[in-house]
Amino acid sequence: MTLMWIPLLPLLGALVPILASGLGRTALAWATAVLPALALVLTLSLIPQLEGSSSIQAQLEWLPALGLNISFRFDGLALLFSILILGIGLLVILYARYYLSAQDSMARLYAYLMLFMTAMLGIVLSGNLLQLWMFWELTSISSFLLIGYWWHKSEARRGARMALTVTGAGGLALLGGILLLGKITGSYELDVILASGDLIRAHAWYPVTLVLVLLGVFTKSAQFPFHFWLPHAMAAPTPVSAYLHSATMVKAGLFLMARLYPALSGTELWFALVSLTGLTTMLVGAYFALFKHDLKGLLAYSTVSHLGLITLLFGLGTKLGAVAAVFHIINHATFKASLFMAAGIIDHECGTRDMRRINGMWKYMPYTAALAMVAALAMAGVPLMNGFLSKEMFFAETLQQDFLGSLSWIIPVLATLAGIFSVAYSTRFIHDVFFNGEPINLPRTPHEPPRYMKVPVEILVALCLLVGIFPSLVVGPLLALASSAVLGGELPEYSLAIWHGINTPLIMSLVAMCGGLLVYFNRRNIYAFQKQFPEFNANEAFERVVRRLIASATWLLERLDNGSLQRYLVLMLLLWALLVGQSMLDLVNLAGDRPQLPLDGVAIAMALLLCIGAIATVIYNRNRVVALLMLSVVGLVVSLVFARFSAPDLALTQLVVEVVTLILLMLALFFLPQRTPRESRPSHILRDLSLSIVIGGLMGSISYAMMTRSFNPISDFFLQNSKTGGGGDNVVNVILVDFRGFDTLGEITVLGIAALGIYNLLAGLRLFMPSGDADGRGWARDRHPLVLATISQSVLPLALLVSVFIFLRGHNMPGGGFIAGLVTAVALILQYMAQGVDWMKARVRVIYPRLIGCGILLSTLTGAASWLFGRPFLTSWFGHFELPLIGEFELASAMTFDLGVYMTVVGSTLLILANLGQMTTSERPVTKEQD
Amino acid sequence: MEALYAVCVGVLTAAGVFLLLRGRTFPVVVGLTLLSYGVNLFLFATGRLNNSAAAVLGAGSDHADPLPQALVLTAIVIGFAMTAFVVILAMRARGDLGNDHVDGRVPELVLDSEERN
């Protein structure tokens, strides 16, 4: 569990600078450093445990069914990177304290840095690839924040966006690769994947997987042709560059390559992709570094070149190559971080980073100059420096490979060429900045920086020298631990010594050094040559690509999403028709072998009425009142259809709902236009007509095919258990209130919600109310006709009695809560219509929302009551009783449940209609008498 | 009989879909209602057609399938709630947006032709 605290501490540390921003600047820096320092101590304390086993694991189950666990894994490689991340991170915190000016928010930078540190630690410590990927994306996001720290500068914003786009896109490719790896091996756990290297390499998906993973690696580690984002990321504050673009983020790609080395390496494809990319990157980076006048630009291209070198080493696929790669990761991190910090000091003191103006710094800041020169020598690979050792190993490895057959000599030659350029730009860094005459036109006079700003540089430069002089003592054990983790436990023979005798690598180094000096002192000729090429601006090219992408996305969006709901519906229905039509094509015969019912006259007449009603609704749809009347004809016939085919419950329900719907739509029509304008284009009418005929045809065919085939219904269960289990003869009602009672409870809840939603929609709504119909005829002046009022009043008790009767008999005969509720509602609505809302309000003092609530509560409590008897929710109970005079009768818990249904239905229906009706009556305009 | 029933379902669906594709809210509501009639009839038919089967226990030996009936019964009630909600939404949209087009704004093309008339 100690392991989990290593990434967790910096995460908590991200809060520290925000909370402590009131403290002084120095105190803030110290407070921020506490938690990462603690994490570093924890990391170091885990080393003894690594002696016995190859890795330490810590796991928390998260979604085990999906193979997602929170899983941390600590081995030599993770140890090395954790030390780099935390150690250099601490130095950067100290350095940034003196780098930032008083206007810059230190707390913000520190919070971002801590977040980034967490993400990096998450990558190197993850034991699960999906988890690793999440942290990987987190580094992209936090580095976006860091590069864009000076968000008022447009180059910072652009650089940040470019870095995020390139690394983020690579991250998506990596996710694809990880998912494929998971499919191939059946697990996302690193241990499993590392152990199944042979399985992965033999798999048909190996090439795709490798390319996807490498896309992620190359974008992150700025490999050619994705290297362009790194120089633009130099818009970041220098502490950020020192941290992200030398020691950590760009190394995340290399880390992943090292991490998956046992699983993916060792094939021709690996060699071709990795080593050739690395070789190209190394040469391109080293060449362009020479022409950069910006101090940080030179370092950025040098970083690209060194990253290429390490990639090439991994690509060679030899064991010693992997060791050399790990070694160079350490060395590059130390000398490049110190060089960036030195460049930051010079920038800070001179006010510019242009090397054409910064000259002769040796006189102004000799101490810093000495430190920077040592680091630059390490970068060039001069003996007694750490860079020399790993470069020697690199040269030796390029001689060992034979991938290019008889042309294999090209690789060491090109490596030496890159070495020459590397020496040349290092020499330029030293000579241009610290010697070469006097500074030109500097904004301020440079002098030595504050004491503590140099401390991080001193520490790193000291490490360069110590590693360079006593390699096996200082870095030997760490290198061995990390390399054996990369190689899966087997470590090759190697010796970390300064002197190996006079051999080919040494001669290559000497050639590189002499050649580099020669190139530097003839630089004018090379500059003149390079000037003939038009300058390629990666930023503009990138912006062009992004703009084109946005333009094409907009184009596509405008075609798909033009804001027309009609078009969306057409597309969806078209898709439905295609899918259903296709499966109907597979059906050989439309008619099945089930015996069909004979036709009779009544049925034909009903069908004719139904079809005429439906078609008339369509034809007269622009005259809305007529369409509504036609619609109600259809509704009534549907109710008759239910009655005809042995479904009295449905017939009753449909009949009452039809009445309620008609009243509702009539009321709504009062507020809507009476006519629909003729606005559809003829082509659209034709399109809609054909589509609806196709869909209607499909629905009819499906119905016919279904009805003429026999089936094995599950209803027998309900028929058998209805009487014994639910105590009712009306199986439909027993299903509603008992077997599927929970569904019904959900349904009345939905009904209540819809009614309350309508209540809210109507609240505060002000609508235009016409004073007459579409033809200009005024409304009837007799608001409440006497005949209707009288009849409705006398009908009311009868109607209520009917609804009670329907409710009570519902369990055994057609009826039930739904139908009874609707009947009651219709009876009351008739009163509303006949007497007016105000008249009813004075007499019926029921608050409908409360009635809905009570109904749902009653049904729920009925269901919950069964818990008292230790039964599951909604278990029903019934019994038969004898009463003198009345005789035998039945009591069932389903009745109270049905009462809840009844109350909800009454409440909902009346809430909707009474509210809507009230709007029409309160301020209805009255037509004047026409004389 | 089954063929006749299927034709009715088809006609109801076709009429409903056509009205559903109109540009103004009220025809859409009417279309939705027609479509739900068609769907209810279709669902009901999954229990197959019975001329004179018993609706309750004890009234005969041949029973109508109660399950589709229970489903359709709830579908009718919920269908009413949905129709009510949609039509009130249409009213609200007209009140807030000033027109009764389904997109909330009348397409320019239509405005042109209305002015011309």
Segments in chain B below pLDDT 70: 109-117
Write the Ramachandran bin of A488: left for phi over 0, alpha for psi from -120 to 50, otherwise beta: left
**Arithmetic mean of pLDDT, A162-172:** 93
Please indicate, yes or no, if residue B57 is contained in any of the structural domains.
no
CB nearest A672 (choices: B3, B70, B100): B100
Tokens of A439: 């500074």
Contacts of B23 in chain A (CB under 8 A): 566, 679-680
Statement: residue A256 has pLDDT above 90: yes
> Does the distance separating the beta carbons of A767 and B17 come in below 8 Å?
no
pLDDT at A277: 94
Residue A252's nearest CA partner among A232, A282, A222, A227 is A222
Using CA atoms, how far apart are residues A645 and B53, in angstroms rounded to an integer? Answer: 8
**Arithmetic mean of pLDDT, A607-621:** 94
pLDDT at A125: 94
A131 three-class SS: helix
A928 vs A843: which has the higher pLDDT:
A843
pLDDT at B112: 52
Please indicate, yes or no, if residue B59 is contained in any of the structural domains.
no
Report the predicted TM-score, pTM, of the whole model to 2 decimal places: 0.68
Residue A398's nearest CA partner among A320, A459, A337 is A320
Q: What percent of chain A lies above the pLDDT cut of 90?
A: 51
pLDDT at A443: 83
Using CA atoms, how far apart are residues A86 and A98, in angstroms rounded to an integer? Answer: 19
Q: How confident is the model at residue A784 (pLDDT cuts 50, 70, 90)?
A: confident
Other CB atoms within 10 A of residue A799 CB: 17
Q: What is the CATH number of the domain that holds B87?
A: 1.10.287.3510
- Cα separations (Å) of A182 from A189, A212, A265, B55? 8, 13, 17, 57
Tokens of B49: 């057609």
> Does the distance separating the beta carbons of B29 and A729 come in below 8 Å?
no
> Does the distance separating the beta carbons of A758 and B14 come in below 8 Å?
no
The b-or-e profile of A909-926 (16+ CB within 10 A means b, else e) is bbbbbbbbbbbbeeeeee
pLDDT at A928: 46
> Does the distance separating the beta carbons of A762 and B88 come in below 8 Å?
yes
- Cα separations (Å) of A460 from A90, A370, A374, A691? 12, 13, 10, 75
Q: How confident is the model at residue A400 (pLDDT cuts 50, 70, 90)?
A: confident
Q: Are A862 and A901 in contact (CB under 8 A)?
A: no
Contacts of B76 in chain A (CB under 8 A): 650, 653-654, 657
Q: How confident is the model at residue A222 (pLDDT cuts 50, 70, 90)?
A: very high
Please indicate, yes or no, if residue B74 is contained in any of the structural domains.
yes
Please indicate, yes or no, if residue B58 is contained in any of the structural domains.
no
> Does the distance separating the beta carbons of B94 and A671 come in below 8 Å?
yes
> Does the distance separating the beta carbons of B18 and A706 come in below 8 Å?
no
* Residue-wise pLDDT tens digits, A696-724: 999 999 999 999 998 888 888 888 888 88
Contacts of A627 in chain B (CB under 8 A): 27, 30
Residues forming a β-bridge with A69: A61
Please indicate, yes or no, if residue B81 is contained in any of the structural domains.
yes
- Residue of chain A with shortest Cα separation from B67: A715
Enclosing domain of residue B84: 2-50+64-116
CB nearest B13 (choices: A679, A699, A822): A699
> Does the distance separating the beta carbons of B92 and A765 come in below 8 Å?
yes
Please indicate, yes or no, if residue B56 is contained in any of the structural domains.
no
Using CA atoms, how far apart are residues A839 and A351, in angstroms rounded to an integer? Answer: 86
- The number of distinct structural domains making up chain B is 1
Please indicate, yes or no, if residue B55 is contained in any of the structural domains.
no
* Residue-wise pLDDT tens digits, A659-684: 999 999 998 888 888 888 887 788 88
* Residue-wise pLDDT tens digits, A448-463: 888 889 999 999 999 9
Statement: residue A780 has pLDDT above 80: no
Peptide bond connecting A492 to the previous residue in cis, omega within 30 degrees of 0: no
A103-107 long-range contacts, CB within 8 A, separation 24+: A104/A149, A104/A150, A104/A237, A105/A21, A106/A17, A106/A21, A106/A25, A106/A28, A106/A29, A107/A17, A107/A18, A107/A20, A107/A21, A107/A28
* Residue-wise pLDDT tens digits, A70-116: 899 999 999 999 999 999 999 999 999 999 888 888 899 999 999 99
Residue A70's nearest CA partner among A142, A132, A2 is A132
- Contacts of A372 by beta carbon, 8 Å cutoff, 6+ apart: A338, A339, A342, A343, A346, A429, A430, A433, A434, A457
Please indicate, yes or no, if residue B92 is contained in any of the structural domains.
yes
pLDDT at A931: 39
- Residue of chain B with shortest Cα separation from A908: B81
Q: What's the number of CA atoms in the CB half-sphere (13 Å) around residue B64?
A: 30
Mutation target among A561, A567, A672 for the B interface, most CBs of B within 10 A: A672
- Give me chain B's average pLDDT, please: 87
Contacts of A813 in chain B (CB under 8 A): 56
- Closest approach of A824 to chain B, Cα-based (Å): 15
> Does the distance separating the beta carbons of B52 and A618 come in below 8 Å?
no
pLDDT at A163: 92
> Does the distance separating the beta carbons of A813 and B50 come in below 8 Å?
no
Q: How confident is the model at residue A924 (pLDDT cuts 50, 70, 90)?
A: low
B107 vs A262: which has the higher pLDDT:
A262
| Interface predicted TM-score of the whole assembly (ipTM), two decimals | 0.93
